[in-house]
Amino acid sequence: MSAVSEISEFTRHLGLYLPAQDVALVESAYAFSDSAHRGQFRNSGDPYISHPLAVASILSQWRFDAEGLSAALLHDVMEDTPVTKSEIEDRFGAAVANLVDGVSKLDQLEFASRETAQAENFRKMLLAMAQDLRVILIKLADRLHNMRTLDAVSGDRKKRIATETVEIYAPIANRLGLNNVYQELQDLAFRFLHPMRYRTLGKAVKAARGNRREVVGKMLDTIRTSLRAAGITATVSGREKSLFSIYRKMTEKHLSFAQVLDIYGFRILVDDVDGCYRALGVLHRLYKPIPGKFKDYIAIPKANGYQSLHTKLIGPYGTPLEVQIRTQAMHRTAEAGVASHWLYKDANHHGIAQAQRETQGWLQSLLEIQTESGDSAEFLEHIKGDLFPDEVYVFTPKGKIMSLPRTATPIDFAYAVHTDVGHHCVAAKINHELAPLRTPLNNGDLVEIVTAPGARPNPAWLKFVATGKARSRIRHYLKNLQQKESAALGEKMLAQAAAALKIAIEDLTAPQWSALVKQCGAKSKSDLLADIGQGRRLAFAVAQALTAEGKGASRGKTGPLSLRGIEGVAVQYAKCCHPIPGDRIVGVLRRGQSLQVHIADCPVARKATGEHEQILDVEWSRDVTGDFPVNVRAFVSDQRGALAHVALEIAEAGANIANVSLERAEGERAVNMVFTLEVQERDHLARVMRALRRVPEVLRIQRVRP
Ligand code: MN
């Protein structure tokens, strides 16, 4: 057929079910696509436009709507021509543009892995990525036409496309109940993957069918007559198995060709459900049913909405025959599945209502939603939600697909890969670009995790992780860490208390330790020490248990506990006064909390009475290390570049600025700046402040004290 007659045939068909302005939209999409693809040719040598036109024609068989058909005509322009999404949107509206964009995105996904589990994930990802079910239907029609014309494609690519069709697209068609598409895709793929077997089997089937025509005709007559005699109106037809399903039965069930083909297939369509069961009764009286071969998919439909009665009988010549019995409405669902929604949209309302009652499972409830709202976009949303509700599918760098909950972040991904990857995660790349660790992942994202050996989980992650696995691993790690660090602090505190009683705990033997643990009623040495570090036990009381005299020992003078700045979460430097090495300090230990270190004259520390907390004598160790935050207030004249001068001086003095806040006093030509600086100790802070006093714009400067 020439292109001109093809397009006129196509639009004539559209005129049968679409209003004139819809047909006009589709025609203008055709004209646009035709000119965009001008000069491009398919492998077959046909002008490129023949492909989108064929895809749209397939969809028009399902009475697809005008937006969907326009998108089908335009489905390759974004990939293969300079046309952009916004151009399509300008000319044909956002709905068409989104559909075209959706199909193009699916085209960019590559299915790399051969594992079955991965194929399943890939199918789910395709479905989840399509914002609109019409995208999937366009993609399936696209694939169907490509398979029909696969002859023109060269060897290796041919095999790859056929394999992908069997593993990905045919199962999707099956899942959506598009039975005709499913069977044709499988048959075509079979033909290209196993050309010899396909040809041999095809010849054999043809010969066998010729021989059997007479037998089939006689059985058809007998069945029709019996049904009529029982007063059942029915359409009876012989059913030909597809080559692929014959082949599959032979390989899966290890049957010979004769055994598989020696089964006659019939289909009986009746008016209502009652008729189905009555027709079944008639058949079972006519021929002997084979035990265990009856299946009632009317009472229990398949997941894709398929309904029928299946039975297997012994025919007149001792050969088995398989019969499917269903209503017209069930038949429509069986043939076109989800697409039957468009196909029979315009049928009379009684027919639709009937179909809804008969179509159970998810398809039924979805059709009901559709009737209530009358909104086909909502209908599609619900189908999709039902298929794959709460998951996103993302790629690992090796092309594996992982499914995660919908709000999952790179942290969840990292813990899903391996606990160690999660623990040492420092950054993430999404689609090759660095992204914050809290970024929610989208379908089809390629996620890479950057790890560093020294890195450890951040408690802030708990605020945004979505998986239970990530959450529990992070919690577990932090709890262990706290236990370890508290135990280290507790050991120091015990050592200090024991020293006052002239006992050196580093000399204690293992049996002495276990005796002490037992005497104190603790679970283990590390529990006992952590209890001390967290203020749950008094170091002095535990130390007393070590003395021969037990409780009788008098409390000697204890030296201060020295801090090195590396105690971790067990020791915290109070945010009210920001003590830095060199300051006189005091420790406040509340039951079950970490040790808070304050400046000695901090009002918060002075309020601690020792009634609800232990007050500990602490001092800075000689080898204290780290950067300690401290607040400095500077009064700076309001001139251009003043802040930059101040920042430069701070950096040159070797301090970091962790935070800065500005406030302008009303009517004054000066600004109050409060810097949170990170310094090593008091002398370092003094050097920084001296440097700042030399900045001309700095009028006044002082350390902030509570
Ligand atoms: Mn295409």
Query: pLDDT tens-digit profile of 354-377?
Result: 333 333 333 344 334 334 444 444
28-42, 66-80, 114-128, 504-518: which has the minimum mean pLDDT? 114-128
According to the model, what pLDDT value does residue 167 have? 84
Structure tokens at 87: 């151009």
Local confidence band at 111 (pLDDT 50, 70, 90 cut-offs): low
Choose between 117 and 250: higher pLDDT.
250
Residue 88 has pLDDT above 90, yes or no: yes
506 by DSSP, 3-state: which?
helix
Rank 218-222, 305-309, 318-322 by mean pLDDT and report only the highest: 218-222
Local confidence band at 594 (pLDDT 50, 70, 90 cut-offs): confident
Q: What is the pLDDT of residues 679-694, one digit of tens each?
A: 999 999 999 999 988 8
Write the CB contacts of 246 (distance below 8 Å, at least 6 apart in sequence). Answer: 201, 205, 257, 260, 261
Buried b (16+ CB within 10 A) or exposed e, 540-576: bebbbebeeeeeebeeeebeebebebebeebbebbee
Q: Which of 46, 80, 89, 296 is catalytic?
A: 80
What is the distance in A from the centroid of ligand 1 to the CA of 76?
5
What is the distance in A from the centroid of ligand 1 to the CA of 69?
13
According to the model, what pLDDT value does residue 353 have? 34
Local confidence band at 580 (pLDDT 50, 70, 90 cut-offs): very high
* SS3 readout for 378-442: HHHHHHHHHHCCCEEEEECCCCCEEEEECCCCHHHHHHHHCHHHHHCEEEEEECCEEECCCCCCC
Cα torsion 435, 437, 441, 445 to 10°: value is 50
DSSP state of 446: B
Nearest to 631 by CA among 661, 665, 594, 670: 661
Q: Is 79 a catalytic residue?
A: yes
Relative to beta strand 264-270, strand 320-327 is parallel
Over range 14-37, report the average pLDDT.
92
Q: From the CB of residue 362, how many other CB atoms can be counted at a distance below 10 Å? A: 16
E strands present in 227-372: 234-239, 264-270, 288-289, 295-296, 309-314, 320-327
What is the distance in A from the centroid of ligand 1 to the CA of 79?
9
Name the amino acid, one letter, at 390: D
Q: Which of 9, 79, 274, 683 is catalytic?
A: 79
pLDDT mean across residues, the chain: 82
Over range 608-628, report the average pLDDT.
83
Local confidence band at 303 (pLDDT 50, 70, 90 cut-offs): low
Q: How many residues does the structure list for the chain? A: 706
Over range 644-662, report the average pLDDT.
85
Structure tokens at 259: 């055994």
According to the model, what pLDDT value does residue 215 have? 82
Q: What is the pLDDT of residues 285-295, one digit of tens each?
A: 999 988 888 89
Write the CB contacts of 289 (distance below 8 Å, at least 6 apart in sequence). Answer: 283, 311, 312, 313, 314
Choose between 620 and 344: higher pLDDT.
620
What is the distance in A from the centroid of ligand 1 to the CA of 104?
9
What is the distance in A from the centroid of ligand 1 to the CA of 150?
12
Over range 533-561, report the average pLDDT.
70
Name the amino acid, one letter, at 396: T
According to the model, what pLDDT value does residue 548 have? 60
* % of the chain residues with pLDDT over 70: 86
What is the distance in A from the centroid of ligand 1 to the CA of 142?
5
What is the distance in A from the centroid of ligand 1 to the CA of 19?
27
Query: What domains does the chain contain, in order, with CATH numbers?
Result: 3-148 (1.10.3210.10), 467-546 (no CATH), 560-624 (no CATH), 628-703 (3.30.70.260)
Q: From the CB of residue 313, how many other CB atoms can be counted at a distance below 10 Å? A: 21
Local confidence band at 346 (pLDDT 50, 70, 90 cut-offs): very low
Q: Ligand 1 (ion): which residues have CB within 5 A? A: 76, 142
Q: From the CB of residue 257, how many other CB atoms can be counted at a distance below 10 Å? A: 16
What is the distance in A from the centroid of ligand 1 to the CA of 51?
7
Local confidence band at 553 (pLDDT 50, 70, 90 cut-offs): very low
What is the distance in A from the centroid of ligand 1 to the CA of 247?
29
pTM over 0.85: no
Angle ∠(278,281,283) on CA atoms, nearest 5: 115
Contact 161, 189 (CB under 8 A): no
What is the distance in A from the centroid of ligand 1 to the CA of 55?
8
Q: From the CB of residue 473, how many other CB atoms can be counted at a distance below 10 Å? A: 20
